[in-house]
Chains A and B, each alone.
Chain A
Amino acid sequence: NAGVTQTPKFRILKIGQSMTLQCTQDMNHNYMYWYRQDPGMGLKLIYYSVGAGITDKGEVPNGYNVSRSTTEDFPLRLELAAPSQTSVYFCASSPEGGPTEAFFGQGTRLTVV
């Protein structure tokens, strides 16, 4: 099983550029999440989705957008990249919310210069 697949693994953006981080899962999970991880700061929730067509903001949504047109895919869009968005981004999925296991992708390391 592929699990949760994120692309790209690394990316360098210039300030003001835009990009989409791709995330796809093959486990038919309803719940999907985007987190960012800064050094020494743990993981912070950006956006989440409880099913196709349903998305909601997490703790740090500013500067990001998401869509969930299918169960499998949950892309994260960065508009007008800023240095503060330099981070490692993780996508995760779970069959349900709350105390069910979250399966994480390998992450995308993004640098904005």
Chain B
Amino acid sequence: TQLLEQSPQFLSIQEGENLTVYCNSSSVFSSLQWYRQEPGEGPVLLVTVVTGGEVKKLKRLTFQFGDARKDSSLHITAAQPGDTGLYLCAVSYSGAGSYQLTFGKGTKLSVIP
């Protein structure tokens, strides 16, 4: 059974602060996605990473894929109230069921003005 853990579960910060959230798997995964979900909405894709050690940037968001392909981090610089939401990582594993996405429980971020 593959386990996917996200930390922290909750994070409340002031506008302008920096933060990092993490996603860790008990097994090597073939790809990882980060989604953001706002209240009352479905998740929306932020980024997909497929190469170990890969770093991607999306404005103030920096996504890193661990070399061992078992972990990832999302760093937000100078957080803004619009960053508030639930951040979910989702992985696909190689082999049978590789077309399925397994989601973590998410990190609920609140950015206070």
Contacts and interface: CB of A to CB of B under 8 A. Distances in A.
Chains A and B bind each other: yes
B31 interface: yes
Contacts of A44: 103
Given A97-B98, A98-B98, A101-B48, A41 B41 contact: no
A102 B45 contact: yes
A32 B88 CA distance: 19
B92 A99 contact: yes
B92 to A, nearest CB: 4
Interface size on B, as a range, is: 20 to 34
Given A43-B88, A92-B42, A107-B41, A102 B101 contact: yes
Interface in B49-85: 50
A58 interface: yes
Contacts, number: 63
B99 A96 contact: yes
A108 to B, nearest CB: 11
A100 B99 CA distance: 9
B43 A104 contact: yes
A50 interface: yes
Interface size on A, as a range, is: 20 to 34
Contacts of A92: 42
A55 interface: no
B40 A106 contact: yes
A99 B50 contact: yes
Contact of A101 (B45, B98, B103, B106): B45
Interface string B79-108: 000000000101010000011111111100
Nearest to B106: A42
A55 to B, nearest CB: 13
Nearest to A90: B42
Given A42-B88, A43-B88, A106-B40, 6 more contacts: A42-B105, A45-B100, A45-B102, A97-B98, A99-B33, A102-B43
7 contacts: A42-B105, A43-B43, A45-B100, A99-B30, A99-B32, A101-B48, A106-B40
5 cross-chain pairs, A with B, having the tightest CB-CB distances, nearest first: A97-B99, A104-B42, A99-B31, A42-B105, A43-B103
